[in-house]
Amino acid sequence: MLRTHTCGELRISDVNKTVSLSGWVQVVRDKGGIIYIDLRDRYGITQLILNESTTDANVIATARTLGREFVVQATGEVVERVSKNDKIGTGDVELKVTALEILNPAKLPPFMIQDDTDGGDDIRMKYRYLDLRRNAVRQNLQLRHKMAQQTRIFMDGNDFIEVETPVLIKSTPEGARDFVVPSRMNPGEFYALPQSPQTFKQLLMVSGFDRYYQIVKCFRDEDLRADRQPEFTQIDCEMSFVEQEDILKMFEGLVRHLFKTVKNIDMPEVPRMTYADAMRLYGSDKPDTRFGMEFVELTDAVQGKGFQVFDAAELVVAINAKGCAEYTRKQIDELTEWMKRPQIGAKGLIYVRYNPDGTLKSSVDKFYSEEDLKVWAERCGAEKGDLILVLSGETAKTRKQMNELRLEMGSRLGLRNPNEFKALWVLDFPLLEYSEEENRWFAMHHPFTSPKPEDIPLLETDLGAVRANAYDMVINGTEVGGGSVRIFQRPLQQKMFEILGFSEEEAKKQFGFLMDAFEYGAPPHAGIAFGFDRLCSIFGGADSIRDFIAFPKNNSGRDMMIDSPSTIDAKQMDELKIKTVL
Amino acid sequence: MLRTHTCGELRISDVNKTVSLSGWVQVVRDKGGIIYIDLRDRYGITQLILNESTTDANVIATARTLGREFVVQATGEVVERVSKNDKIGTGDVELKVTALEILNPAKLPPFMIQDDTDGGDDIRMKYRYLDLRRNAVRQNLQLRHKMAQQTRIFMDGNDFIEVETPVLIKSTPEGARDFVVPSRMNPGEFYALPQSPQTFKQLLMVSGFDRYYQIVKCFRDEDLRADRQPEFTQIDCEMSFVEQEDILKMFEGLVRHLFKTVKNIDMPEVPRMTYADAMRLYGSDKPDTRFGMEFVELTDAVQGKGFQVFDAAELVVAINAKGCAEYTRKQIDELTEWMKRPQIGAKGLIYVRYNPDGTLKSSVDKFYSEEDLKVWAERCGAEKGDLILVLSGETAKTRKQMNELRLEMGSRLGLRNPNEFKALWVLDFPLLEYSEEENRWFAMHHPFTSPKPEDIPLLETDLGAVRANAYDMVINGTEVGGGSVRIFQRPLQQKMFEILGFSEEEAKKQFGFLMDAFEYGAPPHAGIAFGFDRLCSIFGGADSIRDFIAFPKNNSGRDMMIDSPSTIDAKQMDELKIKTVL
C-alpha cells in the first residue's frame, strides 16, 4: 500500500506517528522558508509542511517542482498545527515531510478542479475524469451509491430476490424505439436492448419468485430532450398475490426509508390523488405539491356576461398568486408574453388585482363588475394583496398552459425549494389514450396493465373511460416511479392486444411466450419501477440527472470523452452481414 | 394481499387462527371422503385438507376441478395434523379449508416440475418460466442473490463505491469481438457493448474514486463453446495507491468472506503459485489443487536408452495414479484411446505398473530395466500398487495433454469433490504471447497490464520473457477471477500499444482519452474482475453456469423462450441507416 493513512484520517491522537499519505496536490503555498502543500484524496485534505531549515534539501527541491494535481507520496511525522483549521477534519495536525515522491506528474488541467469551476459543459464532458474529481460531482455519485445500498437493504429486508434479467432481448415495435444489436451467429437477425425488464419480471412471477427486484440499466432510442439519456437505470420491482394497495404501501415504504436513511428526513404518509383530480387541480399528472395554488374553475361564473373569449371557452380557470397584487403592468405584460411563447401557446392572460385597499381591478373590467370579480376572488380564496390569473379555452390545452403558469409563479414566489420534499401517489390513470395522428388507441402505461375490474365492461363500449390499476409516484412535480397491476390471464391480455391493433399473429409472434406462460399457472401480480437517475437527482436537490451519472452522454447520444459512437471496421460489418446505407 | 401467510410460515403456534394462503397446487390426493392438497409457493408447502362431511359442498366441488399448477387462494382454520410430516417446516399443521378460489387455472406443464424432471434441455429452455419453478433452479438463483448481497456487504465495508459505467461504449478491435449497436442519431456510427468496464474503471481511479466496484453485465460476441454466454456478469473492482500484494489480500478476503457467509466454510489463506510452476507441475494456468498428482519431469532420466520416442522428445513427464496398478490392460488401452482422441491428440501413453509384490512392469520394458523404472518410480513418489503414466513430446503440447490426463484420473479416482473447495492464486503471468497465426504479439491479459518493473528492460530485448504484474484466482481448477496492476504512465502505455502493433494514430484514436488521462495526475492503481456466473456455479457445486442464470441463451446465442434474436422491421433498419447483406 502506498499509504498508511488516507488524507482524511489523521487526528490529534496521531501526533508523533510516522505515516505515509498519497494523493493529489491541491495547492502549494511557498512562503520562502516554509512550504505548505494541501494533499487531497477522496477522503479529505491533509496539510504537508516542509521547512527549509530542517527538511532535507532534496525534498525541498522536489516540493518546488510540484504543480496542481501532481500525484505524490509523502512520508513524515504527524505534528500538531500551530494555527488550526476547524473547517476540515484533519485541521488539528499537519505532516512534517521527510520524504516526498512524485508518483505521477500532471499537466495543468483545462479547467479548475473546484466547486465553482470555470469549465464549460463541453470541456467538462470531454475531460469527465477531471470533472469527476470535483467535490460536487463526486458527492453526487456517493449519494447515488448510498441510495443503491439503502434500496437493496430495504428490498432484501422485505424478502425480495434480486434477479438479473437479460440485456440482449427481442425487439418489439410497441412503445419507444429499441436499440438493436445485429447477431453474427444468426445472420439477418437482431437482439434489442431492453426498455425495461417488463416481460421477464412478469415471467419470474409466473415462476413463483414472488418478490423480485433489480437495479438495472434500460435503453431507449429516443430523440433526447434535455436531461434524457439513451441508457438509464431503474429500480425495477414486481410482487405476486398482491393488490394495488399492497404495492402502494410497500413502495411508499421504500421511499420513506430512503429519505430517512439517506437524508434523515421523516417523510409522512404519501397522499394520494386520482389522475382526474390531478388534471383538474393542477393540469398535470405530476403536480408539484410543495405549494398550493390549485386551479379554480370559473367557467359557470364568468359566462354570459358578453365577454366573447370566455363565452366561447370550454374551460375558464384561475389561480391565485398570493401577495402579487403589486405586480406592475410591466411585470404582468412580461408574464403574458412568457405565456404566449410558442412552447406554451396561450392566447392571452387575464388578471384580477385584489388591491390592498379592498378594491378589485381586472383586465376585463369592461365586461365584469366589481361584484362579479368578488365572486371570482371568493372562489379562488383570494384576499387583499393577491393577484388572480385566468386562462380560458379548450380544456386540455388550457389546463396544460395553466400548469406552466402555476409552476412559473411557484418558482417566482420561491415556493419550490429543492430541499423540501413532497411526494404524491397519482392513481386511476386512463388505461388507453387515443392517438389522432396514428388513428388508434395506445396503452397509456403499457399493454400489460390491468384495467380496473369494474371498468372491464367499458372495454366493449367506451375505451376512453376505462381506468387502469396504474399508479405513479411523484416527488416535487417529477414522476419518479410508476407501475401497475398486471393482466395475468390470457384472454384479457389477448383482448388488450386486439384493442391496440395487433393482429392475432403479431401478438403471438411478439408476446406469445408471455401469453403461453399465463396458461401455466400465472399468479395475480403487480409491480413498479423507479427512475433511479432521477430519484438520485431529486435527493441531491438538483434539476439535472447528468451529474448523477458517472459517464453521461450528451443530447446527441454522444460520449464526448471516449468519442462514441464511432465507425467500425468493414471486417466487423462483413461478419455481421450488415452494411450502412448513408 | 391475497394471503395472510406464505406457504412456508404456519407453525403449531398458529393453530386455531383463520388464515389465507395463495400458491400453486403441487398435488391433490383425493381419498374419497377427504381431499388433501399440497399448496406450494417460494417459501414452502402447506397441506390443505377438505372433508366431505364438514366442508361446504361447493368448496369440495371446486377442489375436485383442480389440476397440477393451478393457482389458488385458500382460506380456513389452522389445525394440528394427526400424522405430522417432519420433512417440511409446516409439517405440524394443516389448513382446514372453508373457502377456495381458483385464481388462475393451469394447463398440464410439458414436463414435471420437480427435482428430477423428465424435461429435456430444449423444452426446459423454451418453458424456462416453468423450469425456474423447480426447487433446484430456484435455489441456484437464491444462492446467486446471496452471493451478490454478501459481495456488496464486503465491498461496502471496505470503502468501495459502486459506480455504474456505461453500456453503450466504443468498439475497439483489440481483444474479443464486440457486439455493436447502430446509432440512429449518428448515422454510420456504432456503439459497442462493453467486454468489461476496464477503461472506465481506470478513469475512475484517475478521478480519485480510490476504490470502485460494480456487479456488471459484460458482453462478448464469441463462438459459444459449451457453457459460455454472450452476456455474463462480473464483479469488477479497482483500487488506487496499491501494489499487487494489497489486491491479493483484499480479494482473498472477499472470497473467504463469501465462503464463510454463504457456505459457512472457513477457507484458509489462499496459496500462491507462479505461472511457470503451474505450467511445470500441472500443465495448466488453472490447476485443480483439490488433489496432488503433480507432474514429474523424467526427461533427463529416460533419454539415451535407445527409446527413440523419448530420445526425440523435448519433455518426458509422468504422473502417479495412486492405487491404480491393478488397472487391466483393457482399462489402460481405453485410457490410451481416450488420450488419442483429436481433442487431446496424444500419440500414445506409456505406463509403469508398480505391482503390489514390488515388481515393476512397463509398456517399454524393451528399453528400460526394472532398475531404470525404479528411478522413475522414486522420482514420482510411487509406491507398490501405483500406476505411473508417462507422456512425451514438445513441451507445451505434452503438458497440455498431461493436464487432461491428470484431470481425468482425478475424476476417475473421485478426487474432485464438487463440495470441497481449493483456491489458488496464480501469479507472474507472461505479459505477452506470440501468435504464429497473426505473426504478432498479443497481451496475455490486456494492453493495460503493467510489466513487472524489474522486467521492463526486457521490453527492448526479449518480449516473451517479460512477466506481468497479473494474477488469477483459481478455484477447483476453474479461473474465477483475474486482474493486474495497471500501467498508469503515458509513455509506458504508448510503448505497450507499439509492441502490440498499433500505429500511433490507431492508439490515439482508440485509447487517446485514456493516455490523455494519464497525463493529468493518474495514481498507481490495480484491479481484478471475478466471473460472477462461474463463481456462483462453483459455490453451487455445479459444472454448468446456465442454471445460475435466470434466462440463459443456448450455444447459438439464442433465447429459446422469447425466440430472440429475430428479424426487425424494414422501418427500423431504414431509421438506423443499415441493411442486412445475406
Q: Which of A504, A514, A483, A569 is nearest to A169 (CA)?
A: A514
Tell me if residue B249 falls in helix, strand or coil: helix
pLDDT in tens, A214-231: 999 999 999 877 678 999
The residue among A6, A102, A104 with the most chain B CBs within 10 A of its CB, best to mutate, is A104
For chain B, say whether A228 makes contact (Cβ under 8 Å): no
- Please report, for residues A529, B237, B254, B479, B539, the alpha-carbon distance to residue B260 in angstroms, rounded to integers and kept in the order given: 34, 21, 10, 20, 11
**Residue B94 in contact with residue B48, Cβ under 8 Å?**
yes
Verify whether the Cβ–Cβ distance B107 to A519 is below 8 Å: yes
pLDDT value at residue B381: 97
Q: What is the pLDDT of residues B297-310, one digit of tens each?
A: 999 999 999 999 99
Q: b vs e for A323-334, b when ≥16 Cβ sit within 10 Å of the residue's Cβ?
A: ebbebeeeebee
**pLDDT at residue A543, as a whole number:** 87
Q: What is the structure's pLDDT at B442? A: 93
CA gap A294, A285 in Å, rounded:
13
pLDDT per position in chain B (582 positions), as tens?
Answer: 999 999 999 999 999 999 999 999 999 999 989 999 999 999 999 999 999 999 999 999 999 999 999 999 999 999 999 999 999 999 999 999 999 999 999 999 999 888 888 888 899 999 999 999 999 999 999 999 999 999 999 999 999 999 999 999 998 877 789 999 999 999 999 999 999 999 999 999 999 999 999 999 999 999 877 678 999 999 999 999 999 999 999 999 999 999 999 999 999 999 999 999 999 999 999 999 999 999 999 999 999 999 999 999 999 999 999 999 999 999 999 999 999 999 999 999 999 999 999 999 999 999 999 999 999 999 999 999 999 999 999 999 999 999 999 999 999 999 999 999 999 999 999 999 999 998 999 999 999 999 999 999 999 999 999 999 999 999 999 999 999 999 999 999 999 999 999 999 999 999 999 999 999 999 999 999 999 999 999 999 998 999 999 999 999 999 999 999 999 999 999 999 999 998
CB contact under 8 A, B190 and A233: no
Instruction: Please provide residue B67's backbone torsions phi and psi, each rounded to the nearest 5 degrees.
Output: -120, 175
DSSP 8-state symbol, A33: S
Nearest chain B residue to A526, by CA: B1
Q: Let me know if B162 is exposed, middle or buried by CB neighbors in 10 A (0-12, 13-18, 19+).
A: buried
Q: Which three cell numbers stand for residue A301?
A: 361564473
DSSP result, A47-58: EEEEETTTS-HH
Q: Do B149 and A149 touch (CB under 8 A)?
A: no
- What is the mean pLDDT of the segment spanning A524-545? 96
Q: Which residues contact B71 (CB under 8 A, 6 or more apart)?
A: A521, A522, A523, A524, B22, B23, B24, B25, B102, B103, B104, B105, B106
Contacts of A564 in chain B (CB under 8 A): 168-170, 191-192
For residue B22, list its beta bridge partners: B73
Among chain B residues, CA nearest to A566: B189
Give the chain A residue whose CA is nearest to the CA of B199.
Answer: A562
Per-residue pLDDT, averaged over A108-134, amounts to: 90
How many Cβ contacts (< 8 angstroms) between chains A and B? Answer: 358
CB A384 within 8 A of CB A323: no
pLDDT of residue B557: 94
Secondary structure letter of residue A449 according to DSSP: B
Quick check: B149 and A152 CB within 8 A?
Answer: yes
Give Cα A455 distance to the centre of its chain. Answer: 33
The mean pLDDT value for A499-520 works out to: 94
Of A203, A172, A164, A170, nearest in space to A186 by CA: A170
* Cβ of residue B47 closer than 8 Å to a chain A Cβ: no
User: What integer best gives the mean pLDDT of chain A?
Assistant: 96
Q: Does A153 touch chain B (CB under 8 A)?
A: no
**Within the 239-258 window of chain B, which residues sit less than 8 Å (CB to CB) from chain A?**
240-243, 246
Cβ of residue A169 closer than 8 Å to a chain B Cβ: yes
Closest CA to A245 of A414, A469, A405: A469
Chain A residue with Cα closest to B184 = A221
Mean pLDDT of the region A131-142 = 94
Q: How many Cα atoms are found within 13 Å in the side-chain-facing hemisphere of B142?
A: 17
Contact A523, A241 (CB under 8 A): yes
Residue A195 and residue A170 in contact, taking contact as beta carbons nearer than 8 Å: no
In which element (H, E) is residue B212 found? strand B211-219
Three-class secondary structure of residue B430 per DSSP? strand
Strand spans (E) along A360-448 = 360-362, 387-393, 423-427, 432-435, 440-443
**What is the rounded CA–CA span in Å between residue B479 and residue B279?**
14
Predicted pLDDT of residue B175: 76
- DSSP track, A210-266: -EEEEEEEEE------TT--SEEEEEEEEEES--HHHHHHHHHHHHHHHHHHHH---
Residue closest to B517 by CA, chosen among A104, A511, A516, A533: A104
Q: φ, ψ for residue A245 (rounded to 5)? A: -55, -40
Angle at A45 between CA A39 and CA A50, to 5 degrees: 45
Q: How distant is the Cα of A171 from the closest Cα of chain B, in angstroms?
A: 7
Among residues A491, A490, A493, A510, which one has the least CA distance to residue A448?
A493
| Pick among B5, B39, B101, B129 to test the A interface (most A CBs inside 10 A) | B129
CB contact under 8 A, A219 and B178: no
Nearest Cα neighbor of B360 from B328, B382, B390, B393 is: B382
pLDDT at A113 over 90: no
Amino acid letter, residue B218: C
Query: Measured between CA atoms, how close is B511 to chain A, in angstroms?
Result: 8
Half-sphere exposure of A413 (CA within 13 A, CB side): 20
Q: Which of B186, B518, B581 sits opposite A558 (nearest CB)?
A: B186
Only one residue has cell 513524515, namely A76
CA distance B387 to B409: 11
Among A230, A127, A567, which Cα is nearest to B510's?
A567
Kindly calculate the radius of gyration of chain B based on its CA atoms and give it in whole angstroms: 30
Cβ-Cβ contacts under 8 Å, A569 against chain B: 173
Which three three-digit cell numbers place residue A31? 512562503
Instruction: Name the one residue in this structure whose C-alpha cell is 371422503.
Output: B33
A206 has pLDDT over 90: yes
Distance of CA A461 to the CA centre of its chain: 38
Q: Is A195 annotated as a binding residue?
A: no
Q: Measuring CA to CA, which residue among A498, A497, A500, A491 is closest to residue A522?
A: A491
Buried b or exposed e, range B173-211, using 16+ CB within 10 angstroms:
ebeebbbbbbbbbbebbbbbbbbbbbbbbbbbbbbbbbb
Pairing of the two strands B93-104 and B44-51:
parallel
**Disruptive mutation site among A564, A575, A577 for chain B (greatest number of B CBs within 10 Å):** A564
Instruction: Please give the pLDDT value at position A223.
Output: 85
Whether residue A346 is predicted with pLDDT greater than 80 in this model: the reply is yes
Q: Find the mean pLDDT for residues A532-559.
A: 95
Please answer whether residues B115 and B109 qualify as being in contact, where contact means their C-beta atoms are separated by less than 8 angstroms.
no
Please give the pLDDT value at position A90: 97
Q: Are strands A93-104 and A44-51 parallel, antiparallel or unpaired?
A: parallel
Sign of CA dihedral A382, A388, A394, A395: negative
Helix axes B532-539, B135-157, angle to 10 degrees: 120
How large is the C-alpha radius of gyration of chain A?
30
Distance (Å) from the alpha carbon of B170 to chain A's nearest alpha carbon: 5
Residue B130: closest CA among chain A residues belongs to which residue? A207
pLDDT surpasses 90 at A490: yes
Smallest CA-to-CA distance from A37 within A132, A89, A86, A102 is with: A102
Residue B140 φ/ψ, nearest 5 degrees: -60, -40
How open is the CA angle B219-B223-B227, to the nearest 5 degrees?
75
Q: How confident is the model at residue A338 (pLDDT cuts 50, 70, 90)?
A: very high
Residues in chain B: 582
- Give me the residues paired with residue B45 across strands: B40
Residue A116, pLDDT score: 82
Interface contact B577-A581, CB threshold 8 A: yes
> What 3 state SS string does A472-511 have?
EEEECCEEEEEEEEECCCHHHHHHHHHHCCCCHHHHHHHH
Confidence of residue A32 (pLDDT cuts 50, 70, 90): confident
A578 touches chain B (CB under 8 A): yes
Assess A361–B contact: CB distance below 8 Å, yes or no: no
Which is it for strands B296-297 and B315-321: parallel, antiparallel or unpaired?
A: antiparallel
**B566 with A190: Cβ contact below 8 A:** yes
Question: In this complex, do B2 and A524 lie within 8 Å of one another by their Cβ atoms?
Answer: yes
| CA B24/CA B104 separation, integer angstroms | 10
Phi-psi region of A117 (alpha: psi -120 to 50; beta: other; left: phi over 0): beta
Determine the distance in angstroms separating the CA of A457 from the nearest CA of chain B, rounded to an integer.
20
CB B353 within 8 A of CB B322: no
pLDDT of residue B119: 82
Q: Is A434 on the interface with B (CB under 8 A)?
A: no
B229 annotated ligand-binding residue: yes
Ligand-binding site membership of A378 (annotated): no
Q: Is B221 annotated as a binding residue?
A: yes
H-run or E-run covering A326: none
Rounded to whole angstroms, the Cα distance separating A471 from A115 reads 39
pTM above 0.80, yes or no: yes
Whole-angstrom distance, CA of residue A562 vs CA of residue B516: 11
Angle, CA of B178, B184 and B185, to the nearest 5° = 115
> Most A CBs within 10 Å: which of B123, B154, B239, B564, as the mutation test of the A interface?
B564
Nearest to A582 among B187, B233, B240 (CB): B187
CB B313 within 8 A of CB B364: no
Q: Which of B333, B300, B165, B174 is nearest to B237 (CA)?
A: B165
Kindly state the cell numbers that stand for B190. Answer: 456504432
